[in-house]
Structure 1
């Protein structure tokens, strides 16, 4: 089997995509449910200004990102993939969260070859430098941008990313789907 370079986003991809919901509901005195989170821009979901959402996030980002629950089967599948492929975590998180992010990855026993906290949603340059074969993402905009740059993207399904896909993006519904798609891609690449 061909050894792939797999880039994996963190928030909403390996973690529960609605990790912010409980704290944001308390902060904004709302009762938004997962089903209502149909936009990646959380300020729109909570019907608050971007400035108000940024204030909430800045006050709570350490707590939010320290205690996120992993998605079901993420650890198991990433551990299996790591035996055969290179795993690189690439997150748009602010650089101020770099130490916390490394700590979170190691505390949750997530195996990887590298961790990149880049402080921007534009992940193409890092993916290119890592010679990324497959990028696993939850953000629709990021998936489109990466796919338009020529990267194969697996978009893990959430309420906020259900929009039309192009040929370079495959929607997956859980980490077992991801495992299947990665293996299929590796076998196809080996045949070339």
Structure 2
């Protein structure tokens, strides 16, 4: 039996601060990763939500195509795919589907199923995919998904501090994600052996 992974993309498979250079240039600011203490980017920059959305809509395809890959994510996702079903679940708009597929191909990242929800609400998709573990970077998502009964690995970023529910765990890199998923797989295997 395969483990069903749901993996967010932005800030999880990509570097979390990939948008900074373009945003700094556009808005004439000098924000560093350590300054990004909120997921609400417009608040970090000090502009209205409307202004940020206008900027994002102008360059979203380029922004996502030039984003860097998070260290070790490619190799570890590839290894995990030998015993896990990989499902990418992102809040990106459906109009970014081709851009997202092209980015995954460009970085030679294992393609799994791809779900662009156009919303941060991911609980229903997690249920639909019979998710075992959800890998996420947005704090509010991690809490919501965890409170719905799913195991969550929250990859640490400056903007996602806060206490986590019991079935959510903060991880610091993809090596730790791999360790946690292998531990989960071992637990399932042990339970099956006990039943047999």
TM-score w.r.t. length of structure 1:
0.97
Corresponding residue for residue 129 of structure 1 = 128
Corresponding residue for residue 164 of structure 1 = 163
- Structure 1, 98-107 or 76-85: larger mean CA deviation: 98-107
Q: Please give the secondary structure, in 1, of the residue aligned with 2:141.
A: helix
TM-superposed deviation, 1:190: 2.5
Q: Please give the secondary structure, in 2, of the residue aligned with 1:96.
A: helix
TM-superposed deviation, 1:117: 1.0
TM-superposed deviation, 1:176: 0.2
The separation in 1 between residues aligned to 2:128 and 2:106, in whole angstroms, is 27
Corresponding residue for residue 194 of structure 2 = none
Q: Please give the secondary structure, in 2, of the residue aligned with 1:136.
A: strand
Corresponding residue for residue 186 of structure 2 = 187
- Structure 1, 110-119 or 178-187: larger mean CA deviation: 110-119
TM-superposed deviation, 1:11: 0.4
TM-superposed deviation, 1:113: 2.8
Over residues 144-175 of structure 1, what are the superposed CA-to-partner deviations in whole Å (9 max), with x where a residue is unaligned? Answer: 11001111000000000011111011000000
Q: Please give the secondary structure, in 2, of the residue aligned with 1:155.
A: strand
Tell me the number of residue pairs that the alignment of Structure 1 and Structure 2 aligns: 191
Corresponding residue for residue 54 of structure 1 = 53
Q: Please give the secondary structure, in 2, of the residue aligned with 1:181.
A: helix
The separation in 1 between residues aligned to 2:166 and 2:74, in whole angstroms, is 28
Contact 1:6 1:134 in 2 (8 A): yes
Corresponding residue for residue 111 of structure 2 = 112
The separation in 2 between residues aligned to 1:128 and 1:112, in whole angstroms, is 21
Over residues 31-54 of structure 1, what are the superposed CA-to-partner deviations in whole Å (9 max), with x where a residue is unaligned? Answer: 111000000000110111111111
Q: Please give the secondary structure, in 2, of the residue aligned with 1:83.
A: coil
